[in-house]
Amino acid sequence: MKNHWIAIDWGTTNFRAFLMQGSLQVSRINQACGLLSVEKGQFAQTLQTLLESWLEQYGNLPIVMAGMVGSQQGWHEVPYAPLPCNAADLASGTLAFTTSWGSPAWIIPGANGISQFSQPDVMRGEEVQLLGLAALHPANQHVALLPGTHSKHAQMQHGEITSFSTFMTGEVFSLLTQHSILGRALPEQLEDEQAFLLGVKTASQGAPFTHLIFSARTRRLAGELSETSIHSYLSGLTIGYELQTLPVQQHAWVVGSPALTARYQLAAGQMNLSLSQANGDDCFIHGLWHLFCQLQGTPS
């Protein structure tokens, strides 16, 4: 059991745990056991059940957690670290405690700041991926996109997060396809790359968003868009609208699952943006390993 520990990303809808040996991933658990599905106050019991087989095999392993588990609705609320923040700042704001079965445990704080558009902004979990990206691909400067329900666009200088902005891209796509008139009474949807790229192109022409999305209806009425391609088109519209805020000459990283980052790279290609993919799990693991070493006072 030398050097074994557990890295956890516990979000609102999903739970992901990685059994680690030093900086290497040994095994993993994916469950739809996000905070919303945890019975009131039952975080310890839920976690013990989820990790049962690893704890039986390895004993009371150290557990390092990030994500919404540290929010008001989570297990223990951990105050946000204000920007700018680096690994040392996040480590010093980390909450340490011991679980009911005796594992040493830590919850990493999220980060808050003012977005590039002067709005207050928050994240929980993505700050760990950003540290991991900087560790895996060292550079003086990073611009990183972390796509998802609430996509984040972040800037880093020498491994320090200096600013970030949230875009509700994934959630807005769900609202439009599941609940709006644009998504009503559609036949089964097909993956349509041409419709996706038409959406990206349309979004990149700079129309206001609440006007732009109506084109999913009018292009369908005009016969320019098939009834089975509305989701693809709306995906292109929402991702294209998000990417439009990136400066054209700026190289950026897109960090996430291979399927999602490939989608963003396809859109970026159409918009002449330079985007490199990084695996979100790799970034998460490396970021958390980096923080775990800081917490223990050992070099990573």
Looking at the Cβ atoms of 120 and 297, the one nearer to a second copy is 120
Is position 232 an interface residue for a second copy (rule: CB under 8 A)?
no
Stretch that binds a second copy, among 46-54, 57-65, 137-145, 219-227 (CB under 8 A): 219-227
Stretch that binds a second copy, among 24-32, 58-66, 235-243, 285-293 (CB under 8 A): 235-243
How many positions of this chain bind a second copy (CB under 8 A)? 45
CB of 300 to a second copy, least distance (A): 31
Which of the residues 104 through 143 are near a second copy (CB under 8 A)?
Answer: 112, 115, 117-122
17: number of Cβ within 10 Å:
22
Stretch that binds a second copy, among 48-56, 91-99, 218-226, 286-294 (CB under 8 A): 218-226
Out of 167, 233, 253, 292, which residue is the one contacting a second copy (CB under 8 A)? 167
Is position 238 an interface residue for a second copy (rule: CB under 8 A)?
yes
Which of the residues 168 through 187 are near a second copy (CB under 8 A)?
Answer: 168-169, 171-172, 175-176, 178-181
Looking at the Cβ atoms of 16 and 150, the one nearer to a second copy is 150
CB of 295 to a second copy, least distance (A): 26
Looking at the Cβ atoms of 54 and 196, the one nearer to a second copy is 196
Locate 68 and state its tokens. Answer: 């919404």
Handedness of CA 243, 248, 252, 257 (dihedral sign): positive
Is position 211 an interface residue for a second copy (rule: CB under 8 A)?
yes
Is position 150 an interface residue for a second copy (rule: CB under 8 A)?
yes
Phi and psi based region of residue 222 (left: phi greater than 0; alpha: psi -120 to 50; beta: remaining): alpha
Is position 39 an interface residue for a second copy (rule: CB under 8 A)?
no
Our CA dihedral for 189, 191, 193, 194, rounded to 10 degrees, sits at -30
Stretch that binds a second copy, among 27-35, 138-146, 204-212, 260-268 (CB under 8 A): 204-212
CB of 215 to a second copy, least distance (A): 4
The footprint of a second copy (CB under 8 A) covers 112, 115, 117-122, 150, 165-169, 171-172, 175-176, 178-181, 202, 205-215, 217-219, 221-222, 224, 238, 241-242, 244-245
